[in-house]
Chains A and B, each alone.
Chain A
Amino acid sequence: MPYTGEAFMLKRLSEPSPNVHQLVAAWDGLAVGMGSLMLGMGRRRHSGDIFLFIHDDYWGRGIGRALLGALLDLADNWYGLSRIGLEASPSNDRAIALYETHGFVREGLKRADVILEGQLEDSVVMGRIRLAPAPAEGDPT
């Protein structure tokens, strides 16, 4: 939304939910990208939803790729999630292509889901499935 004040971000950063893992991408010490992994609850404990955004002036420098890589590392190697979901704007071809190269598949299209520049725009729903971690190799005895 327009007119987002500092208080919004202060609350978000200072009162993190235990089920949301947040990280930023810094360029020369300046935070120019933000990513979140929201862990599923209850019967969705095996899953998470991710979200990322990058400052307009820093697009095209691989920041999205780096953030996405870090979020997927968290999901795969630290939380051991089986499913990651996300939503993207259908007009954001570069983001969708990035997600596809990281194993996300289009699962659906939510019609008239969000207002963009005064028009109702659809949202692309994407998912990435991965086997849950197996026991490490070695003799259990």
Chain B
Amino acid sequence: MIDIRAPEERDIQALTELVNCPGVRWGADRLPCTPRSWVEAQVMRQDANAHPIVAEVEGRAIGWAALRQKPGRSRHVGSLGISVHDDFQGRGIGRAMTAALIDLADNWLGLTRLELSVFTDNDPAISLYRAFGFVIEGTSRAVFLRDGQLIDSHLMGRLKPEQQQKSTA
């Protein structure tokens, strides 16, 4: 049973463990040895344009994700970031969090465009995002260092369904 809810102070330890998982580091823009204090600052920060969630399984936060609304002339755009603890991969947790953030974007915030970036070899994540209507809009070359090499990242975007026919691309 997956519970999606807001991050709370009591999740800081579990989320520190999550961001330091080798698999999370592999798939996200994270460095080794992220301290608890960094996670605490993220969890405690109040930002009207950031909408973070956690996924809880058996009383423990094992997924962490956020929707961030952009400023100014891109107020209609939200960017997504999603991480799942290594030991809980393949159980639909990323899917549940993605669905929750898309519901937030479509039905609560009324955002027109969602975007995210994903490393080009992260096939499970790319398939998941495609299933939610994201398409690859481009590929930034040599944009992140991973295991000592510069790797590419796809830019994926999803327009709110009724906007699709208005798109130029």
How many whole Å from A80's CB to the nearest CB in chain B? 14
Contact A111 B167 (CB under 8 A): yes
* Alpha-carbon distance A112/B141, docked complex (angstroms): 22
- Within 139-160 of B, Cβ neighbours of A (below 8 Å) are at 139-146, 150, 155, 157, 159
Contact A111 B73 (CB under 8 A): no
Q: Which residues of B contact A85 (CB under 8 A)?
A: 140, 143
Q: Which of B31, B72, B115, B143 has the most CB of A within 10 A?
A: B143
Q: Which residues of A contact B146 (CB under 8 A)?
A: 43
Q: Which residues of A contact B112 (CB under 8 A)?
A: 112, 120
Given contacts A44-B143, A46-B145, A125-B138, are A108 and B155 in contact (CB under 8 A)?
yes
Count A interface residues, CB 8 Å.
26
How many whole Å from A53's CB to the nearest CB in chain B? 14
**Is B166 part of the binding interface, using a Cβ–Cβ cutoff of 8 Å?**
yes
How many whole Å from B152's CB to the nearest CB in chain A? 9
Q: Which of A44, A82, A116, A122 contacts B73 (CB 8 A)?
A: A116
* Alpha-carbon distance A106/B73, docked complex (angstroms): 22
**Is A113 part of the binding interface, using a Cβ–Cβ cutoff of 8 Å?**
yes
Chain A 67-85 against B: per-residue CB contact (8 Å), 1 yes, 0 no? 0000000000000001101
Q: Which residues of A contact B68 (CB under 8 A)?
A: none
- Within 24-69 of B, Cβ neighbours of A (below 8 Å) are at 29-31
Chain B interface (Cβ within 8 Å of chain A)?
29-31, 72-74, 76-77, 112-113, 115, 137-146, 150, 155, 157, 159, 163, 166-169
